[in-house]
Structure 1
Amino acid sequence: MMDNFTPPGSPGEARKDHGAELTAAGVPPEMHEWLGEHGVGRLTLKMGIRFLEMGADRMVATMPVEGNEQVAGILHGGAHLVLAETLGSFAAGIHAGPGRHALGIEISATHHRGVASGTVTGTATALHLGRTLTTHEVVMTDDDGRRLSTARITNLLRDSGT
């Protein structure tokens, strides 16, 4: 089994400088201050997720199939959900703004077709951007633009520290 990323140091070791991590993940420089304290997260890096667009209304990222397959050789269904939750939660966090954060409270997905190679693109589109809740639809497609899965994620927006 291939591992897309093995972080340095022990599992509990705090990492302080995330600039290289953010750049490698495709995060635009104007978003570095927002994510600088925490980075994009180890799972995002391990799955090979790379951001192409970042906004509350629309967020797009890619993820390789290789290294994220199930035993049958196709992209694992859980990998679809990791990509969907990453996109929906980051978009909700942007909408929440400074001093607030997003907490995923519901996610579901329908898998339409399998994919055994290439790159998956996830596109999150806001369905609702409220004061306390956000909901995004996330569509995953293959290299030919065919729909692989459709997910929906709802996030609760809270003030930081609560």
Structure 2
Amino acid sequence: MTDTPLPPDPASRSAQHPAAPPISDELREHFAPLLRGTLLERCGIELLTLGPHGGTASMPVAGNTQPAGLLHGGATIALAESIASFAAIVRAREVHGEGAQAVGTSVSALHHRSARSGTVVATCSARHLGRQVASYLVDIHDEAGTLMSTVTVSTQLLPPR
């Protein structure tokens, strides 16, 4: 497996995900109160692009390290599960309508290397989009485009209650 660099800016990254448009100001305002006090807020995770087929999110390394000064594997997994879960929510609403939700059922991570500083970006791509299950592959790269981790995330799509 080779390290594939990502384009340097979020606008370029969204070109890799034609189904994942940049997060609109309206959507950011909608999510803001829901994210207050959550792990996403504590980790500094920012959604960049989002659609039912995937999206991108970023997270600073600072504040998300283990005692050795390296990016914490758990923080990396939280970043991957977050972008996959948001994509799954969009998919659930596409299939089941407004108010549908998605919950994670499985996460598996392979860490190739770690970072000590900067920002990492998760790029999420759908692998299966069913009516009840959606699964995603998430690659996490550092600012230089070096592949840091590969994470698979499966979700259950829930109709509104």
Mark yes or no: TM-score above 0.5.
yes
Alpha-carbon displacement from aligned partner over 1:58-100 (angstroms, at most 9, x marks no partner) = 2101100000000110000001110011001000000111131
- Equivalent residue runs for 1:1-162 within 5 Å: 27-32=23-28, 35=31, 38-39=34-35, 42-97=38-93, 98-161=98-161
Segments of structure 1 that go 5 or more residues without pairing to the other structure are 1-25
Alpha-carbon displacement from aligned partner over 1:103-138 (angstroms, at most 9, x marks no partner) = 100001000001111100001001111100000000
Segments of structure 2 that go 5 or more residues without pairing to the other structure are 1-21
Give distance in 2, aligned partners of 1:125 and 1:142: 18
Stretches of 4+ aligned residues off by more than 2 angstroms: 29-41
Partner amino acid, structure 2, of 1:86? S
Give distance in 1, aligned partners of 2:149 and 2:109: 7
Q: Which has the higher contact order (CA 8 A, sep 6+)?
A: 2
Partner amino acid, structure 2, of 1:143? E
> Is the contact made by 2:35 and 2:41 (CA closer than 8 Å) also made in structure 1?
no
Partner amino acid, structure 2, of 1:118? G
Q: Do the aligned partners of residues 105 and 41 (structure 1) sit closer, same or farther apart at CA in structure 2, a change above 3 Å counting?
A: farther
Give distance in 2, aligned partners of 1:36 and 1:46: 13
Q: Do the aligned partners of residues 146 and 100 (structure 1) sit closer, same or farther apart at CA in structure 2, a change above 3 Å counting?
A: same
Q: Do the aligned partners of residues 71 and 123 (structure 1) sit closer, same or farther apart at CA in structure 2, a change above 3 Å counting?
A: same
Q: CA deviation at 1:50?
A: 1.1
CA root-mean-square deviation: 1.9
Identity %: 40
Aligned pair count reads 136
Give distance in 1, aligned partners of 2:70 and 2:80: 17
Q: Normalising to structure 2: TM-score of the pair?
A: 0.78
Give distance in 2, aligned partners of 1:158 and 1:51: 22
Q: Do the aligned partners of residues 27 and 45 (structure 1) sit closer, same or farther apart at CA in structure 2, a change above 3 Å counting?
A: farther
Q: CA deviation at 1:38?
A: 2.7
Give distance in 2, aligned partners of 1:137 and 1:126: 6
Q: CA deviation at 1:51?
A: 1.4
Q: Do the aligned partners of residues 133 and 33 (structure 1) sit closer, same or farther apart at CA in structure 2, a change above 3 Å counting?
A: farther
